[in-house]
Amino acid sequence: DTEVTQTPKHLVMGMTNKKSLKCEQHMGHRAMYWYKQKAKKPPELMFVYSYEKLSINESVPSRFSPECPNSSLLNLHLHALQPEDSALYLCASSQVERGEYEQYFGPGTRLTVT
């Protein structure tokens, strides 16, 4: 079973709403990631946090705002989204030391923007 949890499982929001996606991992990993996945496509990286600091932003629009309150938690704040932002949002975590790059994914939040 995955040790990365995500809430909520499903989210429907209007274009004027503000919502947040939450991710938690209990594996002691110090790198955490947000991915976006559209149907029949592979996951696309959005953000990387390493030691609670943002290290990669893959040119994501500012209507997506990540936050890493501590080493176990990762949030994605959503504001003024567009219907094309509807997708599965996946959180992942990994070790940072020893060059280990295996990432472990949470079950995802399926987001629908109306």
Partner 1 sequence: RKEVEQDPGPFNVPEGATVAFNCTYSNSASQSFFWYRQDCRKEPKLLMSVYSSGNEDGRFTAQLNRASQYISLLIRDSKLSDSATYLCVVPRGRALTFGSGTRLQVQP
Contact set with partner 1 (CB under 8 A)? 2, 31, 33, 41-43, 45, 48, 50, 55-56, 58, 88, 90, 99, 101-108, 110
Residue 32: enclosing H or E segment and its boundaries?
strand 31-37
**Residue 20 to residue 1: CA distance in whole angstroms:** 24
Q: Which is nearer to partner 1, 16 or 39 (CB)?
A: 39
Q: Tell me how far, at minimum, the Cβ of 32 lies from partner 1, in Å.
A: 11
Give backbone dihedrals phi and psi of 85, rounded to 5 degrees, phi first. Answer: -80, -5
Cβ pair 11, 110 in contact under 8 A = yes
d(C-alpha 36, C-alpha 19), whole Å:
16
Of residues 41 and 77, the one with the C-beta less far from partner 1: 41
Q: How far is the CB of 59 from partner 1 (least distance, A)?
A: 13
- In whole angstroms, the minimum distance from the beta carbon of 78 to partner 1 comes to 19
